[in-house]
């Protein structure tokens, strides 16, 4: 089975929220996770990042991007032990950057004139992670009740006009 990037991004965002990430950090994680998986990088790093919530790389890496942008694209990034996911975060900026892994905990990022990598295609081969994220995302859903059903848009009308 294959997934679109957009649906994985939306799912990863909700999963991060379900696991306790603040709203903006969840959005950044969703973008990075979808790009990460589309590039065929290890699903295990996405899973580890989610498991570390409500602390860990999902909270720290968006701030590292803020720092990187303020530094004009040149900085050392603390990967929190997830170098490929950190690389994916950096690549979501869409900036021409050279990224070098100096250790599992650090990336050196510097500006370059080389164009960013082309947009990757669809996502395959991560069924277990999709299932895990679906379960976490479910924590953001409000259980159905008669009251909420009746308050939903479209309730209580005849549709055969």
Partner 1 sequence: MKDLVTPPQMPLRPTGTVMRLARMGAMFPTRLSFLRTLLRRLARERVEVVRPVWSICAQGYGHAVYTLSLGGHRYSLVAVATALPEAARTDRVIAEAWDTAYVLYDGVPDAGEIARICATAPRQEAARFTERDLVLSRANKSVRLFDHVVGSLRAGRQPDPAEVQKTGYLMRTTAVYGNGKFGIADRAAIAARPGLSGPFMAEMLTVWLIRHFTHDLAEHMGGGTLDPAIKRHLGIGNATGLGMAPFLVTHPVLLNNWMAARETALARVRAVPALEAEQVAQLTALATRAAGHLAEWQVPDTAHQARIDQLRSAWAGVASRITPEMCAAPRPLDRLFRAAATGGPDLEELTVALLLEPFGALVDDLAEGMADPFDPPPEQTTHTDKLRARLETAFAWALGRDYDTPEHCRRFWYVSAAKQEPRLGDRFAEPGAALESPLDVARRVAALHAALPDKRTPVLEFLDAHPEHLFAVERVEMAAAYPYAEIRDNLIAADCLPIDLLRCKLSFFGAAKFDPKSDLWTRITLFQGAPLAEEVATRRDHGWLPVLQA
Q: Which residues bind partner 1 (CB under 8 A)?
A: 1-7, 22-25, 59, 62-63, 66-67, 69-70, 93-94, 119, 121-122, 138-145, 147-149, 151-155, 157, 159-161
123, 4 Cβ separation under 8 angstroms: yes
Q: Which is nearer to partner 1, 78 or 101 (CB)?
A: 78
Cβ at position 104, least distance to partner 1 in Å? 22
Give the DSSP H or E segment for 129. helix 127-137
The residue among 24 and 131 lying less far from partner 1, judged by its C-beta, is 24
Write 23-30 long-range contacts (CB < 8 A, 24+).
Answer: 24/62, 25/58, 25/59, 25/62, 26/58, 28/58, 28/61, 28/62, 28/65, 28/89, 28/92, 29/58, 29/61, 29/62
Nearest approach, Cβ of residue 43 and partner 1 (Å): 18
CB of 68 to partner 1, least distance (A): 11
Distance CA 15, CA 64 (A): 21
Kindly tell me which of 7 and 128 has the beta carbon lying closer to partner 1.
7
Q: Cα 159 vs. chain centroid, distance in angstroms?
A: 39
Smallest distance from partner 1 to CB 46, Å: 18
Pick 56 or 83: Cβ nearer partner 1: 56
């Amino acid at each position: 089975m294959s997934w679109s990037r957009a649906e994985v991004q939306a799912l990863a965002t909700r999963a991060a929220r379900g696991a306790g990430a603040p709203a903006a950090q969840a959005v950044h994680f969703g973008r990075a996770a979808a790009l990460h998986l589309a590039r065929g990088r290890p699903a295990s790093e996405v899973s580890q990042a989610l498991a570390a919530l409500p602390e860990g790389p999902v909270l720290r890496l968006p701030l590292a991007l803020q720092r990187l942008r303020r530094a004009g694209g040149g900085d050392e990034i603390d990967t929190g032990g997830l170098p490929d996911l950190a690389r994916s975060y950096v690549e979501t900026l869409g900036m021409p950057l050279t990224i070098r892994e100096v250790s599992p905990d650090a990336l050196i990022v510097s500006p370059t004139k080389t164009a960013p990598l082309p947009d990757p295609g669809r996502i395959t081969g991560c069924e277990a992670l999709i299932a895990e994220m679906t379960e976490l995302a479910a924590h953001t859903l409000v259980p159905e009740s008669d009251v909420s059903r009746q308050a939903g848009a479209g309730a209580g009308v005849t549709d055969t006009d």
